[in-house]
Amino acid sequence: VQLQASGGGLVQAGGSLRLSCEASIPTFSRLVMGWFRQAPGKEREFVTSISWGGTVRNYADSVRGRFTTSRDNAKNTVYLQMNSLKPEDTAVYYCAADANSVAGASPTRADYYDYWGQGTLVTVSS
């Protein structure tokens, strides 16, 4: 499985960005997808996850209400819409795929995820 994330960049505080992550696997609709991020000097942290059909979504407290994840199974793609960005959102954002969880699951722990993309850098200036 290859995951290709894109959409990162430089944005001012209060702005928006939309990240995309395309998976090269025909069974994408049976993957739980997650987004994690790692800021400079910090550990990787959970951002959001979405179940197979998109009905179950989890969000970190720090992004709830500002970020939205969605998926298009026909395009093998998961999205992360980020609004009201803050400087503390600056990080490398990684998409990840969980090939073992069942329908309706949406794990938040990184060790549930089997495949990881290369990351895309988001920089929010103050």
Distance CA 23, CA 25 (A): 6
Strands 115-116 and 91-98, sheet pairing: antiparallel
What is residue 104's predicted lDDT score, i.e. its pLDDT? Answer: 84
Spatial CB neighbours of 84, under 8 Å, sequence gap ≥ 6: 14, 16, 66
Phi, psi of 75 (to 5 degrees): -105, 5
One pLDDT digit (tens) per residue for the chain, 126 residues: 899 999 999 999 999 999 999 999 889 999 999 999 999 999 999 999 999 999 999 999 999 999 999 999 999 999 999 999 999 999 999 999 999 988 888 999 999 999 999 999 999 999
What is residue 102's predicted lDDT score, i.e. its pLDDT? Answer: 86
Say which amino acid occupies 23: A
